[in-house]
Structure 1
C-alpha cells in the first residue's frame, strides 16, 4: 500500500501549528500554571511522532532537534528572532516531557558508518528516475531539520546564478539533487572554489533512506 506523503506532511504541519499555539499559551501563563496544557502537548506529540517515523522511514530519529527546527521554521522568522528568549523558555518544559527523554536515551549509540560509494550511472528507468518532488522534499526537510536544528534552510536558492535545491548560508552548505546521468558543471566547480560545501544526492540516495542518512551525515560531521 503506497504512502500518501502529501497527507502526512499536511498532518505534521497542522500538528506543529497546534503545538506552537500551546507554546504560546505556556509563554503567557508561565510553566507553573501549564500542567493541563503540557498534557495536551504530550498527547499531540505522541500523535505526531508516528507520522515523522513513517515519513523518514526510521525509528531512531532525534525528536527534539526535529521539533525545534519545525517549530522555528513555522514561526515567522522575525518573530522567532525577536522572541528567542521567551521561545526557549516555553520550549524547555516541552522538551522535558518523558517522550523526549526516552528518545534521547534510545539514540545514545554510535552513528552509522558511511558505506556509500560513488554512484554508477544507470539507464533511466521508472525505478531509478528521481522520486516525486514532494516526497524528496519531505524526506530532506526532515533530515535537515534533524541535522541542522539551529540553521536557516533555504529551498530553491540561487547562488552566483546557480540554482541549489537547498542552501544553508551560515554553514555555506549546498545540496543538489542530481539526475542519473550527471556531470558536474564548471559553475558548480566555481562554487567549490569559493568555499561552498556541496552534497550531491542521486536518485539511488533518495530512494534509500539509510543511504540518504549516511551520506548527509558523512558530509556534515
Structure 2
C-alpha cells in the first residue's frame, strides 16, 4: 500500500524523512510525488557500528533511536554495548557512532570503562580506517562536562580515525542536540554510500 505525501504538504525535509521511516516501519511506502529530500536512502546497506556507554540507559536509548533512523536511510546499523568492544575490535568497524555519557568526575560510565582504557592506551594509527562521530551526554553543572565524549573524540582523531561530523554535546536536554547530531551524521554517511 502506498500513502502519498503531497509535494505541497507543509513538511520540512526532516519531517518527510521521518514520515518515510515511520511508514516503512508500518510496511507502507510514502512516495514524495517526485520531491527529493535532504537524506535519501543509501543504496549499499553501508554498515554503521553504534557504540553506547551509559550509566542510566539514556545513551543506550539514543543508540536505539539512531539505529532506527539509520535503517530507514538504507544503512545497516549494529548496536554494541561498549563493554563488548576493545580498541582492536573498534579498528575493524569502519563507520562508528559513539554515544556516551560521563560519570562522576569525568570518568566513562561503567560499561565503557574497558573500551575507554583500551583506546586511551593506544599510541599508533590503529584506527586509520575508521570514520566516526561522537554524541556526548552530560550536565554542565559538573566541572568535567562531557569529558568522556571529548576524550573519545580527541583520541580517535589522534589514532588516525576520520571525524565525519562534529562532536555534539547534550546538556541534560538531549533531544534537540541528538536530532541535530544524528541528522548530520546520517546525512554524511548516506551521501557517501550513495556516491
TM-score, normalised via structure 1 length: 0.36
The structure whose residues are more often strand, as a share, is 2
**Structure showing greater Rg:** 1
